[in-house]
Amino acid sequence: MATVIEKDRTAALKNFSADPNEPTWLSELRREAFLEFSERGYPTVRQEDWKYTNVAPVIAGLTVGFGRNGHGALKAPSPDERRLLEQFNFQRNGFTAENLSRGDFVSIVIEGEKGEPFELNSHVDDGSAIFPHHLITVKSGATATLIETYTSSASSFTNAAVQIVVEDNARLTHYRVQKESADAFHYGVNEVTLGRDATYNSTNINLGGRLSRHDIEVKFTDEGGEAWVDGLYMLNGTQHADTHSIIDHRVPNCTSHQTYKGVLNDKSRAVFNGKVFVRSNAHGTDAQQQNKNLLLSNEARVDTKPQLEIFNDDVKCSHGATVGQLEEEELFYLLTRGLPETLARNLLTYGFAEEIINKIGVEKIKAELDNAVLHRLATVL
Amino acid sequence: MNSHFLWDSVAKRFMLLEVKDLHAGIDGKEILKGLNLRVRTGEVHAIMGPNGSGKSTLSKVLAGHPSYEVISGEVLYEGKNLLELEPDERAREGLFMAFQYPVEVPGVSNSQFLRLAYNEKMKHLGREELDPLEFNDYLKEKAKVVDMDPQFFKRSVNEGFSGGEKKRNEILQMAVLEPKLAILDETDSGLDIDALRIVAEGVNTLRSEDNAIVLVTHYQRLLNFIIPDQVHVLADGKIVKEGGKELAIELEEKGYDWVKSAGR
């Protein structure tokens, strides 16, 4: 059962409960978000950013108990954590409002050089809903790797948020792996800000979910920042995956790279919408963006829209999108080496996906994804 | 055809490939116009010809490229109709083509690719397949044939390889797959003299009484390093002149116009 949307504020507030363990300002913030969610509900296809992704039937079809809370208190949040939470754009859509109102908060503050990756695993059981909200602060000069993994069993609902601050001269490598069940609903948002000479290198893998939507927003707030915002969606059956990304060059001399790849089989469907903004003062920007899609079936479909909005002349920007099938010459080459056609096609598809997976520097995660991709292709290497 | 007829008891050699009056082309255009060729085990043949004579078409038709169509004629491989086999079946039966422009396969490592190809062939032959560790040892041994650094095994197939490295990789594949009939399509093109020597030495190492090699080339240069038993000159889709290795030298001196006029 989906959450009942109450148009009446007073009635809605009956469903909200403050947490005695949290500071008043947080209760207030969550309450505000709760009201926002109660008024707006989930997004509909009438909204431009959601026109290809209709969440209503999928959410209505879930047999999930939402409960009243799903909320985990953030005990004694620091001023930095408070600032971060107050900056969260919960008005982005109904999901972000719902997430903040119920957020199960986890905060990690990273200092110095961390060799071992931080792992945040969010698992949701059949018939349940979760609202993880991660706050990640990489302090000045620190270096770290973060692995976020989302898994679920059968029919489930995930509404996740991660807020990341990469401070001056800090470096974060971020792997986000969504491999929920094919019956799950998944919404996630990443809000990332980069300080001076900060580096953020992210790889976003989307394999699961009946319907998944991932919103990414990366903002440069000082000069010299560099970001990689790469991803892979690999879908089959009637899966639907939607990625909306915004890379915001608000300051001069920052660099962004974005490669998103899609592999679509059966009747699956993907949406990629990538906006790159180069503001008027952001001279010296270098922004590259590409979205490449491989359609393995005539019934699969992708709607891709890379968008560059540039308000400064002294920039180097490029973008592009492709939607296609396997290259015939590549296929012929593999056939002439004696590989049967199905294996040859699978190997080329694997290679297409591997370009993203090979970026992953944590062997355990990379091997798992290798296997997941091969499993999808019903191939053994 | 009964294999009895394929055995040349005088030369003690099997007829491996017989091309009979082959007419073939692409996009409705006839390029091969009645080509005949006979290749026995233990032989090295050179097919020479100017640009547009049909050399590449011959290679592609033999390998089974889907864009090329056979109009008429016959191609027998070990006495069986080659043209009714799919490209991968031809490969598993022991036919190999080294590409003029080897294709890059991003994301797939050379060793993965070669092991898959090797094991498919072993499966076909009913022999034992090799696991990654066993195959690695096998591959290291084979890499010596073309003096290839094992670093190349981990890299994606041909991705970011220089022209010479790609050609060496083709010969490495040949070494791994041990074909009965290898067609080397313009393997000398784009190679400097050192790379050419390595590639040629590799081919000479692989040359045996049990296999045959067809060199398709524009230039005589390669034939200084790999000495052919027979040279066939192709012009306008037909073999217009045949001879021993001296023919290649004569051709280099006199140019292709000489044979083109001889062919008419």
B47-62 pLDDT, tens per residue? 999 888 999 999 999 9
- Among A280, A306, A325, the domain boundary falls at A325
CA B115 to chain CA mean position, Å: 20
pLDDT at B259: 75
pLDDT at position A8 over 70: no
Cβ-based interface (< 8 Å): residues of A facing B: 327-330, 332-341, 343-344, 347-348, 350-355, 358, 381
Cβ-based interface (< 8 Å): residues of B facing A: 63-67, 86-88, 90-92, 96-97, 99, 102-108, 112-113, 116-117, 120-121, 124, 156, 173, 177
Q: Are residues A67 and A83 in the same domain?
A: yes
Helix B163-177, helix B110-125: angle, nearest 10: 30
Please indicate whether, in this complex, the C-beta atoms of A341 and B88 are within 8 angstroms of each other: yes
Q: Are residues A316 and A378 in the same domain?
A: no
* Percent of chain A clearing pLDDT 70 (strictly above): 94
The SS3 assignment for A323 reads: strand
Please report where in the chains the tokens 């119920």 appear, as a residue: A102
pLDDT at B161: 92
Q: Are residues A244 and A343 in the same domain?
A: no
Residue type, A203: T
Average pLDDT over residues A179-196: 97
Q: Are residues A375 and A276 in the same domain?
A: no
Q: Which of A336, A342, A373 to mutate to test the interface with B (most CBs of B within 10 A)?
A: A336
Cβ-contact A196, A224 below 8 angstroms: yes
Helices (H), A180-236: none
CA distance A136 to chain B (A): 32
CA B93 to chain CA mean position, Å: 14
Please indicate whether, in this complex, the C-beta atoms of B91 and A337 are within 8 angstroms of each other: yes
**Full residue range of the structural domain in which residue A269 is found:** 9-325
Written as six digits, the tokens of B203 are: 């081919």
Query: Highest mean pLDDT: which of A115-124, A152-161, A198-207?
Result: A198-207
β pairing state of B238-243 and B230-235: antiparallel
Predicted confidence (pLDDT) per residue in B23-34, tens digit: 999 999 999 999
pLDDT at B119: 96
Integer CA distances (angstroms), A321 to A52, A100, A273, A297, A354, in order: 17, 34, 10, 19, 18
Task: Please provide the DSSP assignment of chain B as one string.
Answer: --GGGGEETTTTEEEEEEEEEEEEEETTEEEEEEEEEEEETT-EEEEE--TTSSHHHHHHHHHT-TTEEEEEEEEEETTEEGGGS-HHHHHHTTEEEE-SSPPPEEEEEHHHHHHHHHHHHHHHHT-----HHHHHHHHHHHHGGGT--THHHHSEETTT--HHHHHHHHHHHHHHH--SEEEEESTTTT--HHHHHHHHHHHHHH--TT-EEEEEES-SGGGGTS--SEEEEEETTEEEEEESHHHHHHHHHH-HHHHHHHH-
Containing H/E element for A294?
strand A285-295
Cβ-contact B87, B64 below 8 angstroms: yes
Residues 6+ apart with CB under 8 A from A258: A228, A229, A230, A245, A247, A274, A276, A288, A289, A290
Q: Are residues A139 and A261 in the same domain?
A: yes
Residue of A nearest to B59 (CA): A336
pLDDT at position A215 over 70: yes
pLDDT at A19: 81
CA distance A351 to chain B (A): 4
Report the C-alpha gap between A240 and A187 in whole angstroms: 12
pLDDT at position A104 over 50: yes
Mean pLDDT for all residues in chain B: 91
Residue of A nearest to B94 (CA): A338
pLDDT at A74: 73
Find residue A318's DSSP bridge partners: A288
Average pLDDT over residues B122-138: 95
pLDDT at position B96 over 90: yes
Average pLDDT over residues A119-139: 93
Q: Are residues A368 and A230 in the same domain?
A: no
Using pLDDT thresholds of 50, 70 and 90, give the confidence band for residue B249: confident
pLDDT at B5: 59
Q: Which of B108, B121, B185 to mutate to test the interface with A (most CBs of A within 10 A)?
A: B108
Q: Are residues A223 and A368 in the same domain?
A: no
Please indicate whether, in this complex, the C-beta atoms of A339 and B65 are within 8 angstroms of each other: no
Give the total number of structural domains in chain A: 2
Using pLDDT thresholds of 50, 70 and 90, give the confidence band for residue A339: very high
Average pLDDT over residues A11-38: 85
Q: Which of A328, A335, A337, A349 to mutate to test the interface with B (most CBs of B within 10 A)?
A: A337
Residue A1 lies in a domain: no
Residue of A183 and B6 predicted with greater confidence: A183
β pairing state of A157-166 and A129-130: parallel
Lowest mean pLDDT among A66-70, B26-30, B106-110, B249-253: A66-70
Q: Are residues A348 and A259 in the same domain?
A: no
Report the C-alpha gap between B96 and B75 in whole angstroms: 15
- The conformational region for residue B51 under phi > 0 = left, psi -120 to 50 = alpha, else beta, is beta
Written as six digits, the tokens of A338 are: 């004696």
pLDDT at B24: 97
Query: Where do the domains of chain B lie?
Result: 43-66+87-263
pLDDT at A71: 57
pLDDT at B251: 85
Instruction: Pick the closest to residue A58 from A238, A234, A232 (CA basis).
Output: A238
Report the C-alpha gap between B112 and B154 in whole angstroms: 8
pLDDT at position A309 over 90: yes
pLDDT at position B72 over 70: yes
Residue of A nearest to B64 (CA): A336
Predicted confidence (pLDDT) per residue in A252-285, tens digit: 999 999 999 999 999 999 999 999 999 999 999 9
Please indicate whether, in this complex, the C-beta atoms of B96 and A336 are within 8 angstroms of each other: yes
pLDDT at B11: 62
Residue A284 lies in a domain: yes
Q: Which of B91, B103, B120 sits opposite A330 (nearest CB)?
A: B103
Residue of A243 and A372 predicted with greater confidence: A243
Residue A49 lies in a domain: yes
pLDDT at position B9 over 80: no
pLDDT at position A368 over 80: yes
Please indicate whether, in this complex, the C-beta atoms of B91 and A334 are within 8 angstroms of each other: no
Integer CA distances (angstroms), A363 to A117, A122, A256, B150, B153, in order: 11, 20, 25, 21, 19
CATH number, domain B43-66+87-263: 3.40.50.300
The SS3 assignment for A215 reads: strand
Q: Which of A336, A351, A353 sits opposite B91 (nearest CB)?
A: A336
pLDDT at B261: 63
CA distance B249 to chain A (A): 32
Q: Are residues A309 and A376 in the same domain?
A: no
pLDDT at position A208 over 80: yes
Written as six digits, the tokens of A357 are: 């997976």
Q: Are residues A126 and A273 in the same domain?
A: yes
Residues of B in contact with A327 (CB under 8 A): 103
CA distance A113 to chain B (A): 30
Average pLDDT over residues B110-133: 95
pLDDT at position A26 over 70: yes
The ipTM value here is 0.94
Using pLDDT thresholds of 50, 70 and 90, give the confidence band for residue A68: very low
Average pLDDT over residues B149-166: 91
The SS3 assignment for A114 reads: coil
Residue A156 lies in a domain: yes
Question: Residue A9 class from Cβ within 10 Å (0-12 exposed, 13-18 middle, 19+ buried)?
Answer: exposed
| pTM of this structure | 0.88
- The conformational region for residue A183 under phi > 0 = left, psi -120 to 50 = alpha, else beta, is alpha
Residue A3 lies in a domain: no
pLDDT at B13: 80
Containing H/E element for A226?
strand A226-235
